[in-house]
């Protein structure tokens, strides 16, 4: 699935926030928390779009994950 330009730009803008959080091992500011919420929302939207386009692949990956537990 090719990302739309606006989604790509949003991911690029939010990536440094995630990098900061992972580097520090904690959320250090309200700006980071808000950025993390925005990133989660964008990821959820991207997943939903992908799932609509490829439901069988998602179902198979979920089954594989359950079997590996």
Calculated CA dihedral for residues 53, 56, 7, 17, nearest 10 degrees: 170
User: Two tokens at 67?
Assistant: 């079997």
Domain spans in the chain, listed from the N-terminal domain onward: 5-67
pLDDT per residue as tens, the chain (69 positions): 999 999 999 999 999 999 999 999 999 999 999 999 999 999 999 999 999 999 999 999 999 999 999
Q: What share of the chain is helix, strand, coil (3-state, %, to 5)?
A: 85, 0, 15
pLDDT at 39: 96
Rounded CA-CA distance 63/69 in Å is 10
3-class SS of residue 19: helix
């Amino acid at each position: 699935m090719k990302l739309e330009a606006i989604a790509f730009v949003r991911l690029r803008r939010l990536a440094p926030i995630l990098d900061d959080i992972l580097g520090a091992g904690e959320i250090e500011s309200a700006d980071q928390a808000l950025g993390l919420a925005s990133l989660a929302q964008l990821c959820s939207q991207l997943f939903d779009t992908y799932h609509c386009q490829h439901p069988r692949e998602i179902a198979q990956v979920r089954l594989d994950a359950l079997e590996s537990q």
